[in-house]
Amino acid sequence: MPAYLTHYIFADKNTQKDAEYRNIILLGSQGSDPFFYYGYKIFGSRKLTNENREFGTNIHHIDLTDFFEFMINRINKSNNEEKAVLKAYITGFIMHYCVDRNCHPYVFYRSGFACNKDESKKYAYIHSLFESRIDSLFMKKKGYRKIDPSLATKAKTKCLKIISLAYYDFAREIMKNPSVFPLSFVYAVKDMETANHLLHSKTGTKKKFFEKHFKYSLLNSMSTPKSVNDDSEVDYLNLKHSKWIHPVTGEPSNKSFLDLIENAKYDFDEGIKLLDCKVPTVLKSKILAFVRQINHDGCLVNSRMSFSNCFYTGDFQ
C-alpha cells in the first residue's frame, strides 16, 4: 500500500460529500489492508491471526479478476441495503487498487524490497517509513492540516457484517481458504482502528517517543510524522521529476508521486464503469481488460522485482 492517509485523501477528494454510504466508500479505499491489522488487540487475542493476515496479503498479490467478478456479481444479485453497502465498498476498493498499482512501483523502487527472508523485517520497516513520510507530505500538498484516523474506518457494525460475509464467501468459494470466517473483516477493521489510534501522534510527542525507544520497529515507521524534513536529495514525492525505473520491467519514468495519483484517478474513472455492467459474460471481459493481470504492486502477477535504488542509507538493528 501507500499508507492509509494517502488512500483516505484520494477517496475523500473523489467522492461527493453527500454520496450515499460515503463512509463505506472511505472504508473501501483501504482495500483489504485491515486484514494486515487482524489480531492487534490491547487485551486478548484473535483466532487464526496469521492466516487472516496472510489472506489480506494474498489479495494484494493475486490477479483481481476473480475478486471483482465475484463481488460485482454479488452486488447485482443483492437487494436494498446489502446492494448499496457492497457497491459503496467496492467503489472504494477500486480506488485502493488504482492507487496501489500506480504508486507501488515507485515506492518499491525508492524503498527497496527483500530478496531473501532474512531481509524481510528490514525492508518492511523501510517500506512503511517511506510511505508514512509520503502520507505526511501528500496530506499537506492536498491542503489537509490533520486527519482523524478513525475517519478511514468509520462504519456501522451491520454494514461491516455485510462486507465481512462477502469476504468469507469469496475466501471459501474462490480461494478455497477455510481460515477466513464470517466476522473476520469486522474484527480486522476494529483492530485497524485500535492500531491507528495507537500509532496516531496528534502533537508529534508520541512519534518522538517511538523514534527514541522503538526506532527500528514498525511501531515507529508506521506512525505518520507531524512534519518531514525533505530535501532535494531524498525528494519523497519526486517533485523534481528525477528518473526512476519500474522494479520489474526496468521501464524508466520521471513521474512524481502526484503524477501517479493522477494516473490512479484516470484508472478509477475507467474501473468504476464495471459497476454498471449487469451481464456476467460481458462483465468478465471488461474486468480482464481493466485488471490486465496487474496486482496491487503494479506488477504482473508472479513477476519478480529486480531494480531498486533505496533512499534509506542508515543502520537497521
Instruction: Specify the higher pLDDT residue, 224 or 31.
Output: 31
Residue 214: predicted pLDDT = 67
Specify if 303 maps to a domain: no
The C-alpha cell at 119 is: 531481509
Would you say the pTM of this structure is higher than 0.85?
A: yes
Residue 1: predicted pLDDT = 47
The C-alpha cell at 80 is: 436494498
Residue 311: predicted pLDDT = 92
Specify if 172 maps to a domain: yes
What is the average per-residue pLDDT within 10-38?
95
Q: Is the pLDDT of residue 221 over 80?
A: no
Specify if 62 maps to a domain: yes
| 253 strand-pairing partners | 244
User: How many structural domains comprise the chain?
Assistant: 1
Q: How far apart are CA 283 and CA 258, in angstroms?
A: 31
**109-149 pLDDT, tens digit each:** 999 998 888 888 889 889 999 999 999 999 999 999 888 88
The C-alpha cell at 29 is: 479505499
Tell me the residue range of the domain where 31 lies: 4-291
**138-162 pLDDT, tens digit each:** 999 999 988 888 888 999 999 999 9
* Strands annotated E in the chain: 244-245, 252-253
Specify if 252 maps to a domain: yes
Give the whole-number percent of the chain exceeding pLDDT 70: 96
Q: How far apart are CA 107 and CA 237, in angstroms?
A: 10
Specify if 249 maps to a domain: yes
What is the average per-residue pLDDT within 41-59?
92
**222-270 pLDDT, tens digit each:** 677 777 878 777 999 999 999 999 999 999 999 999 999 999 999 999 9
Residues 6+ apart with CB under 8 A from 179: 48, 51, 52, 54, 55, 171
Residue 186 to residues 41, 195, 269, 273: CA-CA distances in angstroms?
13, 14, 29, 28
Specify if 250 maps to a domain: yes
Cα dihedral across residues 192, 121, 64, 103: positive or negative: positive
Specify if 241 maps to a domain: yes
Q: Which range, of 42-46, 79-83, 222-226, 289-293, averages the lowest pLDDT?
A: 222-226
